[in-house]
Amino acid sequence: MSLSPKRTVAELQELRALTGDENGAQRVAWTDTWSKARDWFAGKVKELPTEHHYDAAGNNWVTLPGASEKALLIGGHLDSVPNGGWLDGALNVLAGLEVLRRIVTEFHGHPPVTVRLVDWADEEGARFGRSLLGSSAFAGTHSIDADRSRTDRDGVKLEDALRRCGIEIEKFPDARKEQKNAAAYLELHIEQGPVLERMGLPLAVVLGTKGVERHIITFHGQEAHSGSTPMNARRDALAAAAKLALEIRTIARRHEDAVCTMGSVKTFPGIVTAVVGRCEVTLDQRDLDANVLAQMYREAQEASHRFAAEENCTVNWSRLWSIEPVPFHPHLLDLCEQAVRETSGTSHRMPSGPLHDAAEVSRAGIPTVMMFVQSLKGISHNKIEDTKEEHLEMCVVALDRLASKTMDWILKQR
């Protein structure tokens, strides 16, 4: 069997018909529909001379042993958000499957290096609010105690949902064993944003995943009657927050590729007849450069104090969550660029705003790179998520080229 990108498109459509409905993909991790998708995938893999198992965190490994134990890893995730798109995660897995088939044929089942395809468990975190669950167990960055007691909307505990699928959260650290002999990791993904479509490019090399600073910022003023309090006597917490909401755009624009978002604003008492006494906002800042990220954080803090003073208010910050930027491997970036250029005639490098399993694999010290394929309208996590069929076929070819180049690179390492 030589590489058949059309088969990847057909299999994506097959999976959509099997696990989607009129609202989109329904492959939420740890549900019956997800298991159905994984069983379907296991049926596809059965035709290959590969070993197949689930690790301690529920990641699904398909291994084609090679002359060298050093392994090329190719990954994705079959799970989706509720009412999700047909490509997010599944494209990576099914394109990887097609590459694996080509390698089986070319080397008569015995490639020079071991090749492993992985379907990560619960990338989306859609049900329990914990993204990258399986890949973080693999990387050893997972914190069992923080996650054990998470519950879904119906009050089901993460621990119990996992047990129903045969996974004991206590055993999660055993997933690290799968790191053995891992020499490189490749992940293809839809862009999930509008950049490539705007540039008229089908494919891109992903430089890394952006670091994130996520905070709650609370401005304190004075609740007061909206009729009796003169304008110059007010301590309006919303006014200070509103100034910051505009300022974070200026802060982000000072740095190419940086983004800052104020996604939530809550006012107290939040009634039409009172000056806002307390205003809580959230800030999400992202950049690939740790220094830029730290600088944007300082700039936002400084601005918040300035606006609080201007409005006769006070302000305090509390960190919700943060993660450092994860730049991908320099040599694999070059190989990915070659593969993209050979396939599409042109190449572009860009950071990823969203996090991906590749970030966890890279944090485990395994040389990693990702490739993006254009998303139509930049929409994802939605049933209208789509990519042109010609671009889907192109990305399978490019991933295949990258896999060959990476196998050669692994062989050269001593």
- Closest CB to Zn ion among residues 89, 325: 89
CB of 190 to Zn ion, least distance (A): 8
CB of 192 to Zn ion, least distance (A): 8
Q: What helix, strand, coil percent values describe the chain, rounded to 5?
A: 40, 25, 35
Coil, helix or strand at residue 114: strand
- Closest CB to Zn ion among residues 370, 398: 370
CB of 315 to Zn ion, least distance (A): 36
Residue 270 is encoded by which pair of tokens?
């939040």
Which residue's CB atom is positioned nearest to Zn ion? 89
- Closest CB to Zn ion among residues 89, 134: 89
Beta strand 265-268 with 314-323 is unpaired
CB of 401 to Zn ion, least distance (A): 22
The owner of tokens 């009634």 is 271
**Is the link from the previous residue into 351 a cis peptide, with omega within 30 of 0?**
no
Contacts for 396 with CB less than 8 Å, ≥ 6 apart: 3, 5, 8, 95, 98, 99
Give the H/E segment covering residue 182: strand 182-190
- Closest CB to Zn ion among residues 89, 351: 89
Residues binding Zn ion: number (CB under 5 A): 2
**3: closest CA among 413, 402, 412, 303?**
402
Contact letters for Zn ion, residues 30-69 (x by CB under 5 A): ----------------------------------------
Q: Any contact of residue 89 with Zn ion (CB under 5 A)?
A: yes
Q: Any contact of residue 88 with Zn ion (CB under 5 A)?
A: yes
- Closest CB to Zn ion among residues 88, 159: 88
75 pairs with which residues across the strands?
Answer: 118, 187
CB of 376 to Zn ion, least distance (A): 16
Phi and psi at 223, nearest 5°, equal -60, 135
Instruction: Identify which range of 16-24, 83-91, 303-311, 334-342 contacts Zn ion by CB under 5 A.
Output: 83-91
Q: Which residues bind Zn ion (CB under 5 A)?
A: 88-89
